[in-house]
Every structure is written in C-alpha cells, then in structure tokens.
Amino acid sequence: MTDPVTGRPIVAELGRPETDDERAARVAENRRKRRANQSSTNLLLSIAASLLIVLFLVVVTVREDPTPESVDYRATAQQAEAGLGMPVVAPELPEGWYANRADLGSDGSVQEWYVGLITGEDRFIGVLQGFDANPTWLDEALRQPSGQGESVEIGGVEWTLYDRREVEGAGNRGYALVTETTGSTLVLYGTASESEFAQLATAVAAELDGTDG
C-alpha cells in the first residue's frame, strides 16, 4: 500500500510512509543485526575449532604408551666376542626386563662392553665390563674412589657393594656391584631396587660359572 500523495509505501507499524531519517535508521539497524549475527556465528565456529583442538590434544596425550624399544643384546654380544676374542657378559634376563642399548666401545685405554637394562619395575641397571681394566678405570666407572665398598656374596660370587644413594649428585652410580672375572672387571650400577640388583647379579653369576667352567 502506497501513500497517494508521495507514492511511497506505507509502513504498517507507522500507518504512514517512512521519512528519510527513519528509513536510514532502519537500514542501519538491519546492518547492525546482520553484523551481530555474523559475529555470533564466527564466535561459535571459533569455539568449535578450539574444542576440536583440545580434543585432539587430549587424545594424543592419553593414548597408550608406545612399545618400549628393545635391542637384541645377545646378538650384539656375539659380535663383540668375535671382535674381542673374549667372552662378554650377556645374562638371561628376568621376565619383564629388556635391554635398550648394547655396544662395545673404549674409554681410550680399556675396551668396554656395555648393556643398558630396564627392569620389571621400570628402573635402570647398566652392565659395564672393562677388559684388562685398571683401578683408574674402575674409579671412573663408579664416579668415586673404588676403595670404599663392602664385600657381599650373591649367586656364589664375591661382589663389592658400593652404596652412595644418600650422597647428593651420585645419580645412577649411587648403587653398584663390582666383581672380577677372568681378564675383566664387571660393574653393575643404576637406580633399580636392591632385590632387582640381586636378581641380575645372580643371573650374571650363573653365566660366569658357565663361562669359567
């Protein structure tokens, strides 16, 4: 319906045509509402995107731990023995234990066979075997003077026990067992419990007995 005088549409709410100012105000209000709607939509999209990112991070964080990476220390031991011409220690491990490193190296003057072990309690024990080792090598291996241990027997083998777990900065050398074998010095050290050290020392003793026999 239009106004017969102006020819402009009659606005039902007003009962007459809009003035120019009223029309401008209505257009401005409609634009404001559209912008407000767009802002709300954008806000919702941003929130949804943020939630997806959070969900992804949660899934990544709580996913199952990857399978521990183990190495075939016995195969490496065979290769080391072939190079040395001497037996290296590679004991049978208790159930749930695994080796994450095994290699033959040198500190410059002494050949070293090393095996890094993770125990059933997820603790660490290092097996370090020095061939034709001297007292200086042992001091370095223990990170301390080597004359401060006590004698213990485990698995029928005489070991020297070094317990410095109360010493600040001892780290994973705070507890160690040392024994002498034919042509080598053997050091077990790490953060495992005493019972786990005893397990490994017993397994090593059994292997040494078979080797010496």
Is there a single domain that holds both residue 77 and residue 42? no
Over residues 24-39, the pLDDT tens digits come to: 777 777 777 777 777 7
Burial 79-102 (b: 16+ CB within 10 A, else e): ebeeebebbbbbbebeeebebeeb
- Which pLDDT value is given to residue 188? 98
Which of 18, 40, 62 is the endpoint of a domain? 62
Is there a single domain that holds both residue 33 and residue 93? no
In angstroms, what is the C-alpha Rg of the chain?
38
- Which pLDDT value is given to residue 24? 75
- Which pLDDT value is given to residue 209? 82
> In this structure, is residue 1 part of a structural domain?
no
Q: Assess contact for 137 and 110: CB atoms under 8 A.
A: yes
Averaged pLDDT of the chain = 85
Tell me, what CATH number does 202's domain have? 3.30.200.100
In this prediction, residue 40 has a pLDDT band, given cuts at 50, 70 and 90, of confident
For residues 41 and 76, what is the distance between their CA atoms, to the nearest angstrom?
Answer: 62
Over residues 60-104, the pLDDT tens digits come to: 555 555 556 899 999 999 999 999 999 999 999 999 999 999 999
Over residues 182-199, the pLDDT tens digits come to: 999 999 999 999 999 999
Backbone angle region of 155, left / alpha / beta, with phi > 0 → left and psi within -120 to 50 → alpha: left
Is there a single domain that holds both residue 52 and residue 150? no
Determine whether 118 is exposed, middle or buried from the number of CB atoms within 10 Å of its CB (0-12, 13-18, 19+).
buried
Over residues 95-117, the pLDDT tens digits come to: 999 999 999 998 788 999 999 99
Residue 192 sits in which domain range?
Answer: 73-212
- Which pLDDT value is given to residue 205? 96
For residues 106 and 40, what is the distance between their CA atoms, to the nearest angstrom?
Answer: 68
pTM check: above 0.75:
no
